[in-house]
Structure 1
C-alpha cells in the first residue's frame, strides 16, 4: 500500500542527498576520476549492504540471506556506465553543453518511458497530459537557464603526474591551471583550452575529475588542433551526451518492472528491497572498469595517481542515501511523477551549494539567473503535480 508522506520524504532525500553528493570532495584534489569513482562506489555498496542487513526483509524472496535482483544489477550497471562516460563527454563537448544535453535527455527519457510504456513499463497517463508536458518543458528549460550562470573559476587540481619508469622523468599528464576569475558562462567556457590534442586522444580521458551527472564542475576542456577533428569531436560528444542521458533515464526502469511484477503477485513490495541490488550493480561495473583501467596503466608502465579516499567514500554514502530516497518516492508516488524531479532537483541543490557555501556563484546577475532557474523547477513540479 502506497504512502504519500513517505513518497514526499523520499523526494526530499533524493534531491538533497544527490545534490550534496560531491560537497565533501569539493575542496580536495581528486587527481583521477576513475580512482575517485571506485572509492565512491565502495561507499555506495556499503549503504546497500547495511540496509540489507538491518532491514532483514528477505524471507518472502529467499530462504536465507540477502537476495540480488537481476534487474537491480542491470540498473546499477546502466548508471555506472553513464557515470564513467561523463568525463569524456565533458572533454569532447564541453561542460556546459554536455551538462544540458545529458540532463535534458535524462529527464525526457524517464518521462517517455513512463508516459508511453517503453520496455514493458505500464504507461501512466496523467489527468491533463498537456499540462504535464508543459511541466516537463519548464524543467528542461531550467537547465538552459542554469547554463547561463557565470561561475568563478577556482584553482584547478594539482597536475596528474605520469611516471615514466624508463628514464625516471616525471611529466604532467594534465597541465596545471592558475587561479582565475571567469566572466564567461558555462557555455562560453567551452571555448577555453589547456592544450590541444587529436580526436582520438580527446576520447580517452578517464583520469579527468568526475563530478557526476548533477554538477557543473569549474573545469576547462581541451580542443583538438585540427578544425575537422573539432567537428567530429562535437558530433561524438553530442552522441555520447545523449547516450549518457538515455542510460541515466533507464537506470530505474528495471526497478519499475520489478515493482509491477511484485504488485501483480500480491507481495509486500518494499521499494528499498531493491536498494542492495542496485548498489551491487554499480559496484561490480565500477570495479570491472577500474581493473581494466589499472591494467592499462600496468601495460603502459605508468603509475596511477592517488585520489582522495575518505571524501570519495563519503560522497558514495550520500549518493546511495539519495538513491534510497529515489526508490522510496518512486514506489509511493509513482515513477512518472517522481523521476523528472529527482533528475533535475539535485542540480538545483548543487547550484545552491555553489552559491551559498562555496561562493562560486556571485553577483546580482548570477543570483537572478539562479532564482529564475530554480523558479522554473518549482513551476514545472507544480504543473506536474496538478496534471496528475
Structure 2
C-alpha cells in the first residue's frame, strides 16, 4: 500500500511542479523578488492548512533551514527562465536537484541514515537513465519568450518601438559598426545563457538539500516520524526568507522595486501549486525513501514543463527539437519507472 501511496504522491508532485511557473510565465515578473514573495504567501497558506489538518503539531525551527535553502535557490528561478526558457531551466536545475537528493537519501549525507533501495543495480540504472535524459534535454534549442518589455531588454533584444521606428536609417551609417554591435549582443546573450546555466546548477543543489534538516530530525529521533508534521515549519522558513530577500531588494533599489500588479494572482496560484506539490513530496519520501522519490519527482516535472513549452508557450519548435525531446522524455520516463520499481523489486 505504501508503494501505491508513494507513487501517487510522486504523480501529484511531478504534475504540479512541472506546471507551477505556467501562471506567471505570460507576465513580466521583473527581477522575480516580488513574484517569489507573493508565492511565499500562498505557500504559507497551504502550510497553515496542512498544520490544521494534522492537528497543530509542534513547530520545528530546524525545518526552517530547509525552507531557506529552497527560497534562495528559487530566487534565481525567474532570471533563469527568462534566459533559458521554462523547460530548459527546470530540466537543468532538476538534474542537479535529482543527484543531490538521491545521494543524500542513498548514502546518508548531512547526518541522515542511508536508505538503499531493495534493488541497487536497478536503482543505479534508473538514475543513469534519468541523468542521460537530462543531458539530452540540454541539447534542445529553446527560445524563451519573456512576459514583458524589461525581461526582453535584459536578454539584449531590440525594443519593439525601436525595431519599428519609422525614421529612415541614414545611408552613411558605418555598417561594420553595426555588425560589431550585433556580435557584441550575441556574445552578451551567450554569456547570459552560460551564467543562467551555472545559476541553475547552484539552484538545483539548494533544492536538493531542502529535506536534509527534516530527515536529520526524523533519523535522530528528535522530531515526529511523519513528514507532514514539518510542513508548516518548512513553509514558514520559506515565507520569512522570501520576505527578508524582498525587503533587502527594496533597500537595494532605494524603495523603487520592480512590482507588476498583474503578477499577484498568477503568483499566488503558482505558490498554491508548489505548496501542494511539496506536501506530496513529503508523503512520497515517507513511503518510498529519497533514493526512490527524488529521481522521479525531480525529473518528471521537466517532461511536463517541456509539454507546456511546446503546446502552449511555443518556446520549443522544429523537427530536430521534437525528436530530441521525444528521445529524452522516453529515456527519462524509463529511468523514473526503474527507480520506482527498485524500491521493492529484487532479484
Query: Under TM normalisation by the shorter chain, which class is it?
Result: 0.7 to 0.9
CA distance in 1, matches of 2:144, 2:299: 23
Shift in CA distance, 240/378, structure 1 to aligned 2, threshold 3 Å: closer
Q: CA deviation at 1:383?
A: 2.2
**Unaligned 5+ residue runs, structure 2?**
161-180
- d(CA) in 2 for partners of 1:173 and 1:381? 36
Distance 2:329 2:182 in 1: 32
TM-score, length-normalised on structure 2? 0.79
CA RMSD in angstroms, aligned pairs only: 3.5
Partner of 1:205: none
Query: What corresponds to 1:20 in structure 2?
Result: 19
Kept after mapping to 1: 8 A contact 2:25/2:147: no
Please state how far the C-alpha of 1:369 moved relative to its aligned partner. Answer: 2.0
Deviation of 1:138 after TM superposition, in Å, equals 0.9
CA 1:276–1:287: 2 relative to 1, 3 Å: same
Give 3-state SS (helix, strand or coil) of 1:32's partner. Answer: coil
Summarize the Cα distance change of 1:279–1:350 in structure 2 as closer, same or farther, 3 Å threshold.
same
Residue deviations 1:17-45, cap 9 Å, x none?
A: 11110111222222331111111111111
Give the deviation of 1:352 after TM superposition: 1.3
Residue of structure 2 in register with 1:56 after alignment: 55
Q: Deviations over 1:242-265 (max 9, x none)?
A: 433221111111222233245x98
Q: Which moved more, 1:43-52 or 1:118-127?
A: 118-127
Secondary structure class of the residue paired with 1:44: helix
CA deviation vs aligned residue, 1:91-120 (integer Å, no higher than 9, x gap): 9x9679876653332211111111211111
Aligned to 1:316: 271
- 3-state DSSP class of the match of 1:159? helix
User: What secondary structure does 2:340 align onto?
Assistant: helix
Aligned pairs for 1:209-224 (under 5 A) are 222-223=188-189
In structure 2, the residue matched to 1:243 is 202
C-alpha distance in 1, partners of 2:101/2:268?
Answer: 28
Q: Compare 104-113 and 286-295 and name the one that shifted more.
A: 104-113
Between the aligned partners of 1:256 and 1:29, the Cα distance in structure 2 is 37
Aligned mates of 1:175, 1:272 — CA distance in 2: 44
Distance 1:45 1:74 in 2: 15
* Range 112-121 or range 81-90, more displaced: 81-90
SS of the residue 2:30 aligns to: coil
Q: How does 1:152-167 map to 2 (within 5 A)?
A: 152-154=143-145, 156-159=147-150
Select the structure that is richer in helix.
2
Residue 257 (str. 1) matches residue 220 (str. 2):
no
Counterpart for residue 6 of structure 2 = 7
Could you tell me the TM-score, scaled by structure 1's length?
A: 0.72
Find out whether 1:105 has 2:96 as its counterpart. Answer: yes
Separation in 1, partners of 2:79, 2:151: 17
Match of 1:338 in 2: 293
In structure 1, distance between residues paired with 2:238 and 2:336:
29
Displacement of 1:319 after TM fit? 0.7
Deviating more after overlay: 335-344 vs 98-107: 98-107
Equivalent residue number for residue 233 of structure 2: 277
Equivalent position to 1:119, from 110, 114, 122: 110
SS in 1 for 2:309: helix
Gaps of 5+ in 1: 59-66, 162-171, 180-192, 198-219, 225-229
The farther-off stretch of 103-112 and 237-246 is 237-246
Query: Structure 2 CA distance, aligned partners of 1:346 and 1:359?
Result: 18
Question: Once the 2 structures are TM-superposed, how far is the Cα of residue 143 of structure 1 from its aligned partner?
Answer: 1.5
Q: Does 2:79 align with 1:79?
A: no
Which residue in 2 is equivalent to 1:328?
283
Partners of 1:325 and 1:18 lie apart in 2 by 11
CA contact (8 A) 1:79 1:251 kept: yes
1:135 CA displacement:
1.2
Q: Which residue in the other structure is 2:36 paired with? A: 37
Q: Matches of 1:322 and 1:34 in 2, distance apart?
A: 21
